[in-house]
Amino acid sequence: MLKIGEKPILELIIEAFIRDGFYNFFISTHYLPDVIKNHFGDGSRWGVKIRYIHEKTPLGTGGALGLLPHEEINESILVMNGDLLTTMDYRALLDYHNAHASTATMCVREYEQKIPYGVIQNRGNQIVSIIEKPVHKFFVNAGIYALSPELVKSVSPEIRIDMPTLLEKAIKEEKQVTMYPLHEYWLDIGRVDDFNRAQTEIGGLLS
């Protein structure tokens, strides 16, 4: 509920989903749930439906799936961490997920790590090459997922599980787990510096 500009982060997230055509939301709460419920209510202020599931103890980034009304989950759903800002197209993610008949789709970001030294490649005590300040590129988890109904329903109530663990389990079972690279703006507001950065960049996101 920290504000970026004039609105809480969670409100910015929900409004972005609404712009992409989504209208049915579940918010998982734990800390100060009444603050969140009092602000969003049933969603009618935005013309959508908002319901709440409450984690009595933290269940990890995937455990809240076990608290959803599984009998209602008949289509793939999107799951997102509540501390992210992005300009991605959520409908495009869902379409991609369905087109690949995926059990799960993870949004990923490319992350670069620059080694600030010359890296030596050797054979025994012989130097065979010197690579000056190489850059290594990785895909990292962006905290946004599309999940099939079957995967959602596989999570039992009150079981603690993180999303990477849930996806690793699906991979071991040889289910279709795909990645969706994000090229749009994306910011994980996990530190004070990130929060301050979001304050300065919010104007460009909403324009």
The structural domains of the chain, with segments of one domain joined by +, span 3-108+147-206
Residue type, 59: L
Whether 207 shows a pLDDT value over 70: the answer reads no
**Spatial distance between the Cα atoms of 152 and 103, rounded to a whole number of angstroms:** 10
Burial status of residue 100 (CB atoms within 10 A of its CB: 0-12, 13-18, 19 or more): middle
Residue of higher predicted confidence among 45 and 195 = 45
CA–CA–CA angle 62, 75, 24 (5° rounding):
75
Report whether 167 contacts 106 (CB < 8 A). Answer: yes
- pTM summary value: 0.90
Per-residue pLDDT of 142-160, as tens digits, reads 999 999 999 999 999 999 9
Its CATH class, for the domain covering 3-108+147-206, is alpha beta
Residue type, 99: A
Per-residue pLDDT of 44-102, as tens digits, reads 999 999 999 999 999 999 999 999 999 999 999 999 999 999 999 999 999 999 999 99
Whether 206 shows a pLDDT value over 80: the answer reads no
**Spatial distance between the Cα atoms of 78 and 16, rounded to a whole number of angstroms:** 13
